[in-house]
Amino acid sequence: MKPSKKFIRTPLAAIAAGLLCSSVWAADPFVVKDIRVEGLQRVEPGTVFSYLPVKVGETFTDDKGADAIRALYNTGFFKDVKVESDGQVLVVTVEERPAVSQLEFTGIKEFDKDALKKSLKAVGVAEARYYDKALIDKAEQELKRQYVSRGYYAAEVITTVTPVERNRVAIVFNVDEGQVSKIVQINIVGNQAFKEKDLREEMQLSTPNWLSWYTKNDLYSKQKLTADLEAIRSFYLNRGYLEFVIESTQVSITPDKKGIYLNINIREGQQYKVASVKLAGELLNKEEELTKLVNLKIGDVFSSAKLTESTKAIADKLGAYGYAFAAINPQPNLQKDKQLVDLNLIVDPGKRTYVRKINVSGNAKTRDEVIRREMRQLESSWFDSEKLKLSKDRINRLGYFTDVEVNTEDIPGVSDQVDVGIKVAEKPTGSLSLGAGFSSTDKLILTAGISQENAFGTGTSIGLNVNTGKTNRTLALSNYDPYFTEDGISRFTEVYTRTSRPLYYLGDSEYKIVSTGGSFKLGVPYSEVDRVFFGLGIEQLKMETSTNTPDRYNQYVSSYGNSNMNVPFTIGWSRDARDSALIPSRGTYQQVNFEYGTPLADLQYYRIYYQHQYFYPFSKGNILSFNGEIGYGDTYNKKPFPVTKNYFVGGIGSVRGYMPGSLGPSYTNSLNGAITPVGGSSKLVGNVEYTFPVPGSGVDKTLRIFGFLDAGNIYDGVPDFAGLRTSTGFGLSWISPLGPLKFSYGFPLNTKPGDRLQRFQFQIGTAF
> Would strands 34-38 and 89-96 be described as parallel, antiparallel, or unpaired?
parallel
DSSP-based three-state secondary structure for 468: strand
Sign of CA dihedral 383, 385, 387, 392: positive
> Would strands 259-267 and 182-189 be described as parallel, antiparallel, or unpaired?
parallel
Helix 62-74 to helix 11-20 angle (10° resolution) is 10
Among 79-83, 376-380, 486-490, name the one with the lowest average pLDDT.
79-83
- Any bridge partners for residue 532, and if so which? 524, 573
619 pLDDT exceeds 50? yes
- Give the model confidence (pLDDT) of 204-217 as tens digits: 899 988 878 777 88
DSSP-based three-state secondary structure for 574: strand
Mean per-residue pLDDT, 122-133: 80
Cβ(432)–Cβ(461) below 8 Å:
no
667: pLDDT confidence band, cut at 50, 70 and 90? confident
Question: What's the pLDDT score for residue 436?
Answer: 46
Helix 385-396 to helix 304-320 angle (10° resolution) is 100
431: pLDDT confidence band, cut at 50, 70 and 90? low
22 pLDDT exceeds 50? no
Cβ(650)–Cβ(660) below 8 Å:
yes
Say how many CA atoms lie within 13 Å of 362 toward its Cβ: 16
- Give the model confidence (pLDDT) of 327-365 as tens digits: 999 999 999 999 999 999 999 999 999 999 999 999 988
Question: What's the pLDDT score for residue 305?
Answer: 93
Q: What is the dihedral of CA 383, 386, 389, 390, to 10 degrees?
A: -110
Question: What's the pLDDT score for residue 764?
Answer: 61
Sign of CA dihedral 384, 388, 394, 395: positive
Q: Domain 273-348 is classified in which CATH homologous superfamily?
A: membrane protein fhac (3.10.20.310)
* C-alpha–C-alpha distance, residues 193 and 171, integer Å: 57
697: pLDDT confidence band, cut at 50, 70 and 90? low
14 pLDDT exceeds 80? no
Those residues with Cβ within 8 angstroms of residue 698's Cβ, 6 or more apart along the chain or in another chain: 621
* C-alpha–C-alpha distance, residues 437 and 41, integer Å: 64
CATH class of the structural domain 11-96: alpha beta
Question: Average pLDDT of the chain?
Answer: 85
Query: Of the segments 18-22, 579-583, 626-630, 663-667, which one has the largest average pLDDT value?
Result: 626-630
The CA-based angle 425-320-383, given to 5 degrees, is: 65
* C-alpha–C-alpha distance, residues 355 and 418, integer Å: 5
DSSP structure class, residue 97: P
Share of the chain above pLDDT 70, in %: 89
* C-alpha–C-alpha distance, residues 318 and 327, integer Å: 9
Cβ(675)–Cβ(754) below 8 Å:
yes
> Would strands 30-31 and 354-361 be described as parallel, antiparallel, or unpaired?
unpaired
* C-alpha–C-alpha distance, residues 120 and 381, integer Å: 50
Question: What's the pLDDT score for residue 5?
Answer: 41
443 pLDDT exceeds 60? no
149: pLDDT confidence band, cut at 50, 70 and 90? confident
Question: What's the pLDDT score for residue 451?
Answer: 74
- Any bridge partners for residue 440, and if so which? none
Question: What's the pLDDT score for residue 670?
Answer: 62
718 pLDDT exceeds 90? no
Cβ(556)–Cβ(563) below 8 Å:
no
Question: What's the pLDDT score for residue 432?
Answer: 53
* C-alpha–C-alpha distance, residues 224 and 226, integer Å: 5
Among 74-83, 262-271, 744-753, name the one with the lowest average pLDDT.
74-83
Cβ(89)–Cβ(59) below 8 Å:
no
Among 244-253, 455-464, 556-565, 732-741, name the one with the lowest average pLDDT.
732-741
Among 193-202, 437-446, 553-562, 608-617, name the one with the lowest average pLDDT.
437-446
440 pLDDT exceeds 50? no
Q: Which residue has the higher pLDDT, 530 or 402?
A: 530
474 pLDDT exceeds 90? no
Mean per-residue pLDDT, 13-41: 62
The CA-based angle 255-261-265, given to 5 degrees, is: 135
Question: What's the pLDDT score for residue 136?
Answer: 85
Mean per-residue pLDDT, 690-709: 82
- Give the model confidence (pLDDT) of 283-332 as tens digits: 999 999 999 999 999 999 999 999 999 999 999 999 999 998 899 999 99
DSSP structure class, residue 413: T
- Give the model confidence (pLDDT) of 160-182 as tens digits: 888 888 788 898 999 888 888 88
Mean per-residue pLDDT, 40-62: 83
Those residues with Cβ within 8 angstroms of residue 701's Cβ, 6 or more apart along the chain or in another chain: 402, 403, 583, 621, 693, 735
Domain residue spans of the chain: 11-96, 99-176, 182-267, 273-348, 360-426, 429-523+538-566, 578-585+603-768
Mean per-residue pLDDT, 654-666: 89
Question: What's the pLDDT score for residue 330?
Answer: 94
99-176 belongs to CATH 3.40.50.150 = no
Q: Which residue has the higher pLDDT, 720 or 527?
A: 527
Cβ(522)–Cβ(489) below 8 Å:
yes
* C-alpha–C-alpha distance, residues 712 and 750, integer Å: 12
Mean per-residue pLDDT, 464-473: 70
CATH class of the structural domain 182-267: alpha beta
Mean per-residue pLDDT, 93-113: 84
- Give the model confidence (pLDDT) of 234-259 as tens digits: 999 999 999 999 999 999 998 888 89
Question: What's the pLDDT score for residue 67?
Answer: 84
Q: Which fold does the domain 360-426 belong to in CATH?
A: Ubiquitin-like (UB roll) (3.10.20)
Question: What's the pLDDT score for residue 438?
Answer: 44
Q: Which fold does the domain 578-585+603-768 belong to in CATH?
A: Porin (2.40.160)
16 pLDDT exceeds 60? no
182-267 and 578-585+603-768, same CATH topology? no
Query: In degrees rounded to 5, what are phi and psi of residue 177?
Result: -65, -35
CA 595, chain centre distance (Å): 38
